[in-house]
Amino acid sequence: MKKKRKRGSERRVADEACYVCGSCGEEIVVPLDPSAGEHQSYVEDCPVCCAPNEIHVDYEADGSARVTARSE
């Protein structure tokens, strides 16, 4: 009987990621919505300094998310 090992090979979609605010340099954790598409971008105000950041979310083939931000 084979034991199933779920490690690495399984496609797992991240539901949370973080970006660094382009204005104050704080690391901000944001919830992700995988159902909104593989490539997303939106503007969000930094909860620390209130500066708007343009957030880009890209999902990798393995389901992990890459989040980048630039200050507006």
Q: Which spans of this chain sit near Zn ion (rule: CB under 5 A)?
A: 21, 23-24, 46, 48-49
* Minimal distance, residue 39 CB to Zn ion, in Å: 24
Q: How many angstroms separate the Cα of 7 from the Cα of each of 12, 20, 29, 35?
A: 10, 28, 24, 23
Pick the closest to residue 32 from 3, 63, 62 (CA basis): 63
Q: Which is nearer to Zn ion, 13 or 49 (CB)?
A: 49
Q: CB of 53: closest distance to Zn ion in angstroms?
A: 7
Instruction: Give least dist CB 18 to Zn ion, A.
Output: 13
